[in-house]
Amino acid sequence: MAISLSAAVLVAVPLGIAAARRPRWGHVILGLVGIVQTIPSLALFVFMIPLLGIGGPPAVAALFLYSLLPIVRNTHAGLTGVRAEVRESAEVLGLSANARLRLVELPLAARSILAGIKTSAVLNVGTATLAALIGAGGYGQPILTGIRLDDLGLILQGAVPAAALALLVQGLFELIEPLVVPRGLRLK
């Protein structure tokens, strides 16, 4: 999950920036990542098997693809939500387009971008349990075995830690937010 989310952040944030800066391309980018999101998770895991085999690699690839939409969409929304007056003020100060992005727009969009990353991370925890169906193991393995054996205790051995991990990920992002979002933009 960490590998797929890290890769998704490295790809999705630049895609969100490109979508915000180039509206025509933005529709295409948002449409493509939206299409990927509409593929059922189990089907996407299965589609990855002929390309990457059984086990971890197809699971990482599928989780990566599922992580893209929330991050791209929130990056796009955060950047397009920066008021025109703020952009114009930065331009009048003589900041280049890259400096405006780095010093003004990204800090103002940081809360939205982080929300997209957090959403992807929490969704990945739940979706990763399905990766056991393609031999990737993890918390999904006891869930699947418990379903086959009709053993609630075994199902809970996988479900409870997966739910706890999702809550832990949510809590970690709550701790990270003050470090990423500028102090003046934090909600009280």
Does the pLDDT at position 185 exceed 70? no
**How many domains are contained in the chain?**
1
If one counts every other C-beta atom within 10 angstroms of the C-beta of residue 102, the result is 12
pLDDT digits (tens, 9 = 90+) for 12-41: 999 999 999 998 999 999 999 999 999 998
What pLDDT, on a 0 to 100 scale, did the predictor assign at position 138?
A: 83
Return the residue matching tokens 């992580």.
67
The residue among 68, 93, 84, 85 whose CA lies nearest residue 9 is 68
Instruction: Return phi, psi of residue 83, to 5°.
Output: -65, 145
- Whether 69 has a pLDDT exceeding 90, the answer reads yes
**CA separation, residue 76 to residues 31, 70, 105, 131 (Å):** 13, 10, 11, 29
pLDDT reported for residue 179: 85
Secondary-structure percent of the chain, ordered helix, strand, coil, rounded to 5: 85, 0, 15
Predicted confidence (pLDDT) per residue in 143-184, tens digit: 988 988 988 998 999 899 999 999 999 999 989 888 887 776
CATH number of the domain encompassing residue 120 = 1.10.3720.10
Averaged pLDDT of the chain: 90
**Interatomic CA distance for residues 128 and 131, integer angstroms:** 5
Cα-based distances in Å from 146 to 134, 142, 149:
16, 6, 5
Q: How close are the terminal C-alpha atoms of the chain, in Å?
A: 31
For residue 148, give its domain range.
2-185
Record the tokens describing residue 123, joined without a space. Answer: 């969704």
Q: What is the mean pLDDT of residues 64-79?
A: 95
